Amino acid sequence: MISIAHGLNLSPDDRDRKPFVDQRDHRGYPLHVAPVKRLRWILALLAITLGGAAGVLGSILYQQYWTQLPPMDGLLDYRPPVATRVYTHDKRLIDEFYFQKRYLVAVNDITPLVQNAFIAAEDSDFRRHRGIDPRGIARAFLANLKAGTVVQGGSTITQQVVKSLVLSPERSYRRKLREIMLSLRLEKELSKDEILYLYLNEIYLGDGNYGVGAAARSYFDKEVSELNAGEAALLAGLPQAPSRYSPTRNPEGARKRQLYVLRRMHEEGFIDTRTYASASSHHAEVQPRGKRTGKVGSYYTEYVRRYLAEAYGREATYHKGFEVYTSMDLDMQAAAERAVRDGAYNIDALLGYHGPVGHMEADELDKRLAADRADESLETLNENGDYEGVVVAVNGDIIRVAVGPQQSSIDVAGLEWKPGVSPRGFRVGDLVELVAEVHDDKPTLLLRQEPQVQLALLSVEPSTGQVKAMVGGFDFELSEFNRATQARRQPGSAFKPFVYAAALDNGYTPASVILDAPIQYVDHVSVWRPQNYSRRFYGPTTLRRALEKSRNVVTVRVVQDLGVDTVVDYVKRFGFSDNIGRNLSIGLGTSEVSLKDLLRAYTPFADGGILHEPVFITRVEDARGYVLEENLPEPVRVLTEQTAYLMSRLLRGVVENGTGRGVRALGRPTGGKTGTTNEHRDAWFVGFTPDLLTGVWVGYDDSREIGTRGTGGRVAAPVWLDYMTSAHEGLPVRDFEMPPGITCVQINHETGERASLQDTDPRLECFRSGSEPEHEAQTWLDIDEAYSEELDLQQLAPASLEIFPLLP
């Protein structure tokens, strides 16, 4: 074998030297130079190749990713869907409209405590990194490995913002690379506080809440600035898994996550040891879901929602975060809803029981009772809760009813059945509607059927028109139709005050005497003979007495005397539209109106002749606080102060001496008018004090008869009184102010003349100064014969006169 030295022609003296150090080849070059040079060339070539590849790759990445990154307009001009909030007049939240429940909160209004809770939980190096955090990824990996589950995320807060607002939810390396690039870019465009603002307002925090503003309200009924360390930690624990750590669905899981966040806050130095110990030892009190979803004023807020959708568009109503301030008084609204609900049950009981809702045979009954006994929810019955029970025994007039394990005996001897319903009695197996009354934790079951009759109530402040309460029906969940604003019904005698106001402005006084006697109006095909509700006539009657007792014949005579056109033109000043019928029955309320329109028309009687449009919404602001609209009272004088005062006194007489006597129990100066329409299809009471004007309507949606007991004074007035009693609690008693130009004198209330010394029952009556009677009263002659008069209707009204049997 040839040695390496021999192969290189080395001399014997050189053979012991180290090869490739100072040896030379046959050309005289040192032997080690050639390999070293080749290595350098190789490294240089490799560097050039890698550099070129990197350049190409960079070019490809630039072309394929960086230049094609989605725009960041949504981040730089952040306008997410924000919930519209609706408030009462004193700024109490009553409702929200949203697709995403979110309230924007400025970063300056988010305390460092809340900010740091999320930073500790999600991205502890947020203030230090530039969008991505390799150390954070490694730390999250180790923490998750140690815990055996995901307790930390690898994405920074910046990456989460990009992921949520810019990128699609797909999982791929391409999307991850774009996320990193966008995060680096975002950190150059925005400050840390701006990025945190986006994150804390965008992040989903469970139970339908987006952002810390909605979550703080929903879970704790607090503003973000009011949250303590424990509450902040609970919220900060939610982004990782909102459902798994939900405090309403999984309190135990939420508690564990909260403690983890508190520990991280302490480790990062965001809270001291004392705060950490205190927050860790106390459970954050979360509102029950039922409390957060319950609300008052559904008909009212639905009216507001419809208005906003019409004025600003549906999309804006649910997305733009309007702040809507209404006229509602929450306590009055709650009182109105109680009065309507209680009134519906009372009226339904007054009208009669309409029988069981179903029946079960023996085999079905046994299965039903077994299922009810196994139903744990029926072991404890709710006070005033409505239940469907079963008749399990009948012993004469005593029936035994059961709801689950609860049973009660009911005496039905005095039960009055509704007219038209066959009172067949009860049988075992009958299904009946019941209500539970609980005393000393012991429930008693009573018969109470779901009312079929409907009611509406509207209440306004007469000096401003601001609507303090509105109820559009018995139950919004059963029917969203608002009978206070959408239904148009005949007002009956509740319309008469407008005719009497016209009379006062056209030569009549409260003491003017009109003959209440038979009269008939004839056209070519029919005869109309107006009747009083009592079917009797009362002879000469003062204007006051006619309104107090709701005399139809006198009202028709007044319309006839003034002229139909005069009356129609006059009542339009109260805001009624052109659908008011031009005929003699106008004063008897035969033209259909809404409760809202009727209440607006009554405001001049309660506020010195000033008409006020009903104001539901006082102000609307956008999400940034700019006022979009403001509705201030716009008073319009439609009556003189003197006429308005005289009308208020006439309507007080209705309450003190007439068909509205049932509401005298209010115990303060009150004016009002009942109304009952043809065949008892509608019942009304509209009444007012100096502080509040309220109207109540009762009837059926299909316009069937309420029944002979369904008069305004009997079914509508009690609901009015119930509500007004609650609404006036704490208010001082005020009287209506007498304006200048009014003179009051003692009169004979039968003749309308000044009272003489012989009068045993004189009455104080007020007049427009100069119109008071000058002569003392004379004795009326008895009217022995019926008074009748024939007039050609062609001269009074259109030929197509409708004929009504009219009621007060």
Just list the catalytic residues: 122, 493
Identify each DSSP E strand in 337-429 by its residue range. Answer: 358-359, 386-395, 398-403, 406-411
Q: Residue 256: how many CB atoms within 10 A of its CB? A: 13
The Cα 572–Cα 592 span in angstroms is 14
The secondary element (H helix, E strand) that includes residue 751 is none
Q: How many residues does the chain have?
A: 808
Concatenate the DSSP letters of all residues of 140-162 into one string.
HHHHHHHHTS--S-SS-HHHHHH
The secondary element (H helix, E strand) that includes residue 800 is none
HEC letters along 513-527: EEEECCCEEECCCCE
Residue 775 DSSP one-character state: S
The Cα 186–Cα 170 span in angstroms is 20
The Cα 76–Cα 83 span in angstroms is 21
| Short-list 577, 578, 576, 582, CA closest to 601 | 576
C-alpha 747, offset from chain centre: 51
The Cα 252–Cα 260 span in angstroms is 13
Query: Half-sphere exposure of 368 toward its Cβ, with a 13 Å CA cutoff?
Result: 19
386 neighbors 373 (Cβ within 8 angstroms): no
Q: Strand, coil or helix: what is 537?
A: coil
The secondary element (H helix, E strand) that includes residue 334 is helix 330-351
Cβ density class 177-205: b for 16+ within 10 Å, e for less: ebbbbbbbbbbeebebebbbbbbbbbbbb
The Cα 773–Cα 763 span in angstroms is 13
Q: Residue 312: how many CB atoms within 10 A of its CB? A: 17
Cα 774 to Cα 125, 142, 543, 545, 643: the distances in Å are 96, 105, 18, 20, 20
Q: Tell me the backbone φ, ψ of residue 438, rounded to 5 degrees.
A: -110, 125
Bridge partner residues of 676 (DSSP) = 683
631 neighbors 731 (Cβ within 8 angstroms): no
Measured in Å, how far apart are the chain's first and last C-alpha atoms? 139
Q: Which tokens sit at 271? A: 């809270």
The secondary element (H helix, E strand) that includes residue 165 is helix 157-165
Q: Residue 427: how many CB atoms within 10 A of its CB? A: 11
Rg of the Cα atoms in the chain: 42
Q: Which residue has the tokens 């106001």?
A: 501
HEC letters along 475-488: CCCCCCCCCCCCCC
Q: Tell me the backbone φ, ψ of residue 23, rounded to 5 degrees.
A: -80, 155
| Short-list 805, 546, 543, 550, CA closest to 675 | 550
Bridge partner residues of 445 (DSSP) = 436
The Cα 86–Cα 65 span in angstroms is 45
Bridge partner residues of 447 (DSSP) = 434
Angle, helices 192-202 vs 157-165, to 10°: value is: 60
Residue 539 DSSP one-character state: E
Bridge partner residues of 780 (DSSP) = none
